[in-house]
Chains A and B, each alone.
Chain A
Amino acid sequence: MIQPMLWGVGMSAYGLQPERRVESLCWDAVSGAVRDAGISPGDIDAIVVGSVFGPPGVATRVQRGIGIPGVPMWTVENACASGTSAYHEAVEAVLGGRFGCVLVLGVDQMSTLFSGAIVPEATDPEGASSLPLPGLYALAAQRYVQEFGVTLEQLAAIAVKNKRNGLDNPLAQLRAAAPTVADVLGSRMIAEPLTMLQCCPTSDGAGAVIVGPERGVRDDLRIEASAMVSGALWDHRSSDVWGFASVARAAERAFAQAGRTPAEIDVLEVHDAFTIGEIVTLEALGLAPRGKGAELAPSGHTARDGAQPVNPSGGLLSRGHPLGGTGTAQLAEIAWQLRGRAEARQVARHRVGLVETMGGGAAGMDGNACVVTILSTQDGTERGTP
């Protein structure tokens, strides 16, 4: 049985960078990951790229600069979960013995495509009806407000927490100042009840991860589980809000594979594209019962110094969301946290970490895909000196 390990991670800066070549963002990420893994580029025997908007051929243009010619390479698209879907394929390939060292690259450069919110896809029935992504999340938020009595202050607390965390992330897009609850609620309305500061900014960025089998390096992280699910019907029969069920499906598989319970997770990076997303996701992951996830941020449970810190990087709300680049950035943060090298962002307990990425937008489905992965230090102890 081959044990897949995370060998190294790297990230470009995240932010609006239209003046940079998209390949150049990737080269930052790949060179960082290769250095972090302590390998030679020639050791890489396969490449999996996760990207939504490419551009088509971006993987090969990246190749021109890094010189790993001829190895098997493919690009996957699973909406916001594209980067972690690429990672999942790498983990499966290592697990099955197909490859010995896989480079995962997640990238998107949104600033050259959209001036603000993502333009909905005209071939989708709901996209054609002008449902923007913040509107889709707002419909879930409104349901939580009315069904469970979630307050606007509880929603805002997610943004306050994550944006404060992001101040200490030198690679994050937004790090000017941490807003208060009043600032969040007073920012421009986007789709009721979600205000501007409750929506992640679109971004440009690339993240890379190197996955391989055990090789006797203490800093390598054990990949205890990686689960990827595609979407299922979401319709009038469902009592869950959009997205809940796809995250729950992936989480159930990942926890079973790792043989762990949600309470055993020390630190998490989850898909907070919008504040309500973190609430619904933490319920689907089992950190809180349905309708109670909104209490986790105000109570301090998910704060950086709380019992289970969530999004210590600042999350998508701070880092920015270059779709394909998000999952690999989440993996990078968990790797740094588990190794005790997250500097000002370092959490106290960091033996077991979890990454969740959920992508969606296709009408009538509970998501396009969701990936949940659980990683740990090799000997179950804290690494480094926080």
Chain B
Amino acid sequence: MAAEAIISASSRNAKLRMRNVSMAFERDGKSIPVLENINLEISDGEFICLVGPSGCGKSTLLNVMGGFISPTRGVVAIDGETVRGPDPRRILVFQDHGVFPWLTVEGNIEFGLSGLSRAERKERVAHYVQMVRLQGFQHTYPRDLSGGMNQRLQVARALAMNPDVLYLDEPFGALDAITRLMMRQELLRIWQAERRTVIFVTHDVDEAVQLADRIVVLSSRPAKIQDVHSVDIPHPRNISSSRYLEHRDHLLTKIGLAYSA
């Protein structure tokens, strides 16, 4: 099982590579380490979940990958090119309040598309409105949409940029349980249709096992990689199958270790 995962991972090209990445915040003249020596390779088209105890630095790691924060030491490279700042080829989706309230659904989706012709923009918007199932809401403002619809809109806005990597920072964390479950199915459907590299931060082990190809378990702060776990169950995953439960229990044990570490 583990061997298969290694072969499948190495047979694809490494999309994102992190080498000895460490990160420390300066606060009141003191240096607080947040990330410690992170080494990770992510393949093109892979779905990765970052899990770990809350406050461990998962979001910081995602922000470092996205170029929003520079690491104190080490290098993040995408396609062999060092990441030096945020880039429209890689879009980050926030937990909530990420959409622009002064723009309609349509306005939000085409926000980053000012380089395209009118016709192309229209086509792109129509495509992603359909993909996230917001048909009929093109001219609606975010405050008239539900939380789940707003997150779908944020995902659509990100996908419309045609990014090769999608960073999701607990995107469903502020939603209720049922909406969250539906959103996972939607995200999987979109991922299977578009095959982008997805890096997904969550503190929910079930969410990770339902979604990810590989799960990166981080320790509590300063975050180190505790374990990288491959989930070799084909989609759609049966959440009551014994294999699913095995993966889940394995991860819970690992995270339990992470808590005590």
Are A and B part of the same complex?
Answer: no
Question: Residues of A at under 8 Å CB distance from B?
Answer: none
Question: Residues of B at under 8 Å CB distance from A?
Answer: none
